[in-house]
Structure 1
């Protein structure tokens, strides 16, 4: 056995720890196996960055596994603070119900307020009512209308599920969390990281000022393109929001299929001509 096999690295070669190369003072006194098999270790390793990677991986695996067979779905976002007697709550119930009646599952953050309302509408209509919960110090947990729930530790893993398994967003009035979800989806569409992703905002009195700012201050400074404000559809009517997301989503999906087929035909023609 060579000295490097013992875990004592040659000066030039260095010490390899999986894909990581260590040299000089960075070389550990024990090998990974020695630490794994050592008795009397505490629980601090549970909170180390390498272990967090495993937890992150497990969240993606669990989320993908739970939602892989979900079928067509729309994500609904809005405030957790909206009371049950508010008009926004009633509108979100209608959104959830109409989406299910149109053949879509409803995905929310699983919490109270608007999320609960959309889940309620979906569940009472006999559809799939999905909640993607998040570990927060002040969150009340999964609402009672969720019939398929997944809890997450990490926001970014959770937000991936919102986008991956939805064909569009209906966004009700909400706070910073709703803004975050809205602008992440909007950025993905604008940069073509996702295709065929309609976004409907419900509440002209709430969202109108934001859209006016986007169409003036933001556009006038050249921060976005001329067509970018049109990525958002604003309405007061829950039915219009649902119809927009479904119809535009179907149209964009058809355009994407046509583009893919045209590309395949071009590639086939190029391959034939080169023979």
Structure 2
């Protein structure tokens, strides 16, 4: 398996892309209120990209193989789990919305996702969002020089299984390597498989992204050839960050603070 290893300068470019992603997600999630359309949220993301002279990782993605993705953000509402197309859907009180956003700076990618409440939501949905976010951080903390991709998968699965609620973990959709392309080797499943997985080293970056539902992990793809929904109608949550291994530790390229608050002693950013 040919996993891309970045130089420190390349990781710094990815950090620049990651900060654009973080800013765009903050702006879109702040605007996710009753009455706004998903297309209007996407327009906010476009403005952030334009303001930084960055390109979109998502716009026209897949055009070489079929219908290119028409937005700069995947915006998925309630039982739409991933890859939701921005459009005329109006958000309503009680919805939960997952926003996945990517940026390219000088050829290097950043990719992250957040799930947020639209107004007041149920306790069940709130716990789902919290569980998915914390599963992502469990996976991030499992990355280390000399470790394996399977360590990340095991950490995510272990966290989810120890929760009092039972959640479905999507299996057809996984995390991934990232760098000079958005999707690269290796795949990063959100469940553990009893087989050898690639070894991690300094200079590698992974997009860690658990996707959970309140019901089954079974999914369907809609006729638009993009939007993935839960087969049983259960709601879903999606959290993602781009995480790099440096000589000093871990650097979350898509968090404004680089992950310092959540990583503690594992935090190890590169200097300017």
Where on the TM-score scale, by shorter chain, does this alignment land: which range?
Answer: under 0.3
Greater share of strand: 2
TM-score, with length taken from structure 2: 0.25
**Larger Rg: 1 or 2?**
1
